[in-house]
Chain A
């Protein structure tokens, strides 16, 4: 009996470790291959937000840039707060983010080599339980919808992580003339990324502000919530590119090296007609609808 059990256990452990190995090896091999193909012209480090990266946009368009120019782009994706934190630490050559106030602060602190270039936008959407207890479906705009949610004390899940989406949400509360805080049991600040926040909203059957791309990519598992408001004027989500300044004051005396030339090449390319076409086409195939819109120059 004991022997049989031990054998079974060993088999299980073996199977698990094999599975784990094969999982681990795949990305490792990929990176190895990547670095052999790499970059006659060097590496560009792009720090961006999870919402852009999770949508798959960059995976879809950056290879075109790489094969045309010979640069290799390394994408670090995190909330806007940490993405800007990477750039301030000299860990990024350029930023692709969506939080105007934080971007302007970054520029004011002398870290930027370029203007803030707003090049594409999309819309945040407001999701919630399909029975819509706060009755937001008929609201004129997001600020009105937020007022209705607060009035109904219906559960609302907030990113609460200082990300671009969180800042947008704060602006909407401001526009609604409200500041939900500790006393508001219905306001749930989870301090987490978009995907995790959507899962929690689903679990709590709560309202949530999200970018459309992340919602669509997770739609199948979000059974308790659906889109209640989309494309309201006050829910526009603008993405910008900012180059990092190699000789920023904070980098003096450190061994920070910024690939300014590469960053500029990528910024120029992002404004090309070719990139504009790729961006506006993206989303039509996996999600059946356009996810990002170009800002005309």
Chain B
């Protein structure tokens, strides 16, 4: 109970640095979930929609990538974008932007995979009808996406949850830089390493509270 009290006190203290950390966390998670959804939802629906050659392999690769270790994804992005790397000219090392890049790499497969399985179920019933009346494939995907929309909220929340809780990749590419790229998870790690276990726990509780608020806001929109 003391920890919860401390977490609440932490929020009420109006500490500017804490607000910066929360803001960076939300900006990073919202952007990475948004971009990943723009890629993953249509892609997932297209894959899940119907039987085509190579579908099984694509699904298996997607599912494998869902388990991509965050640190490995972070390392890949780090190697690509560091100043001596092939994409070093972008100069985005240790910025929120590169954190979003790493997160998109991590979350897109999750969103794609979940969208594919959601679409698979609905497509079965819908697909026959659509084929029967001769609707073009692109339109079929769009139609299916509308049918799947209620599920999309849930899928995006899973992506958001993974994004907000991730630490390995974002600390590697973001650098956990104070006032700049520090997020909730890397702040928790830092406080732990400092030996400030109480503050670390309070931050952890605060992170859960933020997640809870986001889920509560989205809750009415997820039907079925």
Chain A contact residues, CB within 8 Å of chain B: 2, 5-6, 78-79, 81-86, 88, 160-163, 182, 188-193, 200, 203-204, 223
Contacts and interface: CB of A to CB of B under 8 A. Distances in A.
Contact of B57 (A5, A82, A160): A5
Given A6-B57, A203-B94, 8 more contacts: A81-B193, A81-B196, A82-B193, A85-B194, A160-B190, A161-B190, A190-B178, A193-B193
B94 A204 contact: yes
Given A6-B57, A203-B82, A82 B194 contact: yes
Contacts of A84: 195
Contact of A85 (B53, B176, B190, B195): B195
B54 interface: yes
Contacts of B177: 188-191
Interface in B7-61: 53-54, 56-57
Interface in B176-207: 176-180, 182, 186-187, 190, 192-197
B57 A190 contact: no
Contact of A81 (B93, B175, B178, B194): B194
B83 interface: yes
B203 to A, nearest CB: 13
A192 B83 contact: no
B197 A203 contact: no
Interface size bracket, B side: 20 to 34
A189 B194 CA distance: 14
A182 B179 contact: yes
Looking at B57, B171, B175, B179, the one whose CB has the most chain A CB atoms below 10 A away is B175
Contacts of A83: 195
Contacts of A5: 57
Sorted nearest first, the 7 A-B pairs with minimum C-beta distance are A85-B195, A189-B178, A81-B195, A191-B190, A162-B194, A81-B194, A82-B195
A162 B195 CA distance: 9
Contact of B94 (A86, A88, A200): A200
Nearest to B186: A191
A215 B174 CA distance: 22
Given A5-B57, A191-B182, A203-B83, A79 B175 contact: no
Nearest to A205: B83
B194 A79 contact: yes
A173 to B, nearest CB: 15
27 contacts: A2-B54, A2-B57, A79-B194, A79-B195, A81-B194, A85-B196, A85-B197, A162-B194, A162-B195, A162-B196, A163-B194, A182-B178, A182-B179, A188-B175, A188-B180, A190-B178, A191-B176, A191-B178, A191-B182, A191-B187, A192-B171, A193-B193, A203-B82, A203-B93, A203-B94, A204-B94, A223-B84
A193 B193 CA distance: 9
B193 A161 contact: yes
A133 to B, nearest CB: 16
A161 B57 contact: no
A82 B104 CA distance: 33
Nearest to A184: B179
Interface in B124-169: none
Contacts of A182: 178-179
A84 B195 CA distance: 7
A120 B54 CA distance: 65
